[in-house]
Structure 1
């Protein structure tokens, strides 16, 4: 049997390297590469893009759009890891656990967009509650999140590497930094659309002095609702929504066993996995709740999700290479 041919366009970038590393260990596919000297040769790229079974785009948005414009074969499937097509018509959103039927849409699609890391954590928390009516679609949602610096790509990784070298083991001068202070972060539209919200969420991202890992927090002031659900009802709804899923794990309600010293929810605990963990904490007396997602921004937040989507698109077991 002929092995499916996979081309990673942008395999030298952070996500591309991670995907290549995962796929290069497999013997059920054939990886097609382009010579370094021809990476900017549109003719050669078009030739390769139209000759493979699946092209995975690990490129900046404009370069991803250019790559898509070079594809004229209806037989080639495109999996785009940029933000260019995550809310575009004609593209299927590559979060298989988003809702029933999403996995089947990915399997049939020619064009699939890989989710962002922050949106993956956010949607894992909030989508079940919107879908099942425990929260109204017009609920004013706030997101506070922190990611490892690898989420910023090559430039930020190099900056932190230089800082660590200069400090020679001394605490980094940039241990934690909030950004996106002008609002309108590129992930917000993606979050709103796929959560089913009528208004954009208020998103406050931050970067920490650790290479990879991520925590996404969604505080819920339930007292603003006429008939607020209890914390247990919220947890039950989320747990039921993801029942049977391999890569979304819902921790027991109010569980502290997965916390460091029973107190701290570390951002790096599921690094090097394709898992997103969802936690529910609540105080029914004050009618407050906190949803938390923990994931590897380079795993389920990027390359792991891409491999999972690729497997679905090829019709092979989702866990291959994961």
Structure 2
């Protein structure tokens, strides 16, 4: 990459994720943002040209537009970070979750094709991958994963619904076909042989999400305690800045000692994991809390940009107190 300012092009910078990435990068002295005039935003030839001129290109586009662009870009040296779902389970793209394993950062440093994780899958994978790897959750199990997100997770269309003049539903589940676009990456990077059963939902608030996975005997196949689960997660993420594990059965982050808000990490790149359990009934609940627009989208992309450019990973990113 350039020894001076890193040239970065955000294709789709006027969308929800692109705007946030632009906001996080625009004032950095180590970054030069390349931009196309509004009239050229849909001109494929000009987009290919500026992508090839960049050190890093971040694609905040629908899947079809990403595939069209990449077919034209070919094997150009530009480091491409794809925020769509187009390449998240592709073998020749590297998954942009540095905390996935002790070797993931090295894989990202060696790769010029990086897929930015989905918001729900960031939480689900963070919870399940260490437990599958440690044999706590069986590889052939079918975990249930439940998620609730702020309405910004649905992009401009859903934002317009919730911030418009008409009455909106305060809460609702969706994806009842059980084919949500984040399921394939949850399956692959959690190390499962079967897809998890994933039920997403949206609430009438802007940002923040919770991802929850019940850990029960039917997915462990053996007696497991909350302490066992907590130790695996705590060991896996030991020393990480952005992914932290709360003390076992921690109640300090609960509002009124009982209510876990989904929006508590808004505008940070932090993700906090927690473990609660009823060992007498062999029922355990693991929870990930994150900002769907932070660690779940734009923050994750900026973290990888920081890694690739050799600056501190926290540059331009907020860490929860």
TM-score scaled by length of structure 2: 0.96
- Find the counterpart in structure 2 of residue 146 from structure 1: 148
1:44 corresponds to:
46
Task: Report if aligned partners of 2:117, 2:297 keep a CA contact under 8 Å in 1.
Answer: yes
Q: Give, in whole Å, the separation in 1 of the partners of 2:106 and 2:139.
A: 25
Q: Quick one: distance in 1 between partners of 2:156 and 2:15? A: 7
d(CA) in 2 for partners of 1:72, 1:234: 44
Unaligned runs of 5+ in 2: none
- The normalised TM-score by structure 1 is 0.95
- Seen in structure 2, the aligned counterparts of structure 1 residues 283 and 3 have a Cα distance that, compared at 3 Å, is same
Q: Which residue of 1 aligns with 2:31?
A: 29
Offset from partner CA, 1:117-153 (integer Å, 9 cap, x none): 0000111111111111122111220011110000000
Q: What displacement does 1:2 show?
A: 2.0
Distance 1:154 1:223, change over 3 A: closer
Q: 1:198 aligns with which of 179, 193, 197?
A: 193
**Alignment RMSD (CA, Å):** 1.2
Local SS of the residue matching 2:280 = coil
Ranges in structure 1 where 5+ consecutive residues have no aligned partner = 167-171
Cα contact 2:265–2:290 (8 A) shared by 1: yes
SS at match of 1:97: helix
Establish whether residue 188 from structure 1 lines up as the match of residue 183 from structure 2.
yes
With over 3 angstroms needed to count, the CA separation of the structure-2 counterparts of 1:117 and 1:226, relative to structure 1, is: closer
Equivalent position SS for 2:211 = strand
On the 8 A contact 1:149/1:212 being kept in 2, the answer is: yes
Provide, for residues 232-265 of structure 1, a one-character-per-residue CA deviation record: whole Å limited to 9, x for no partner: 0110110010000000010000001001011011
Give SS of 1:138's match. coil
Match of 1:9 in 2: 11
Greater shift, 127-136 or 70-79, is seen at 70-79
**Once the 2 structures are TM-superposed, how far is the Cα of residue 227 of structure 1 from its aligned partner?**
2.6
Within the candidate set 269, 276, 292, 2:271 is matched to 276
How many residue pairs get aligned? The number is: 315
Runs ≥4 in structure 1, deviation > 6 angstroms?
none
Does the Cα contact within 8 Å between 1:60 and 1:82 map onto a contact in 2? yes
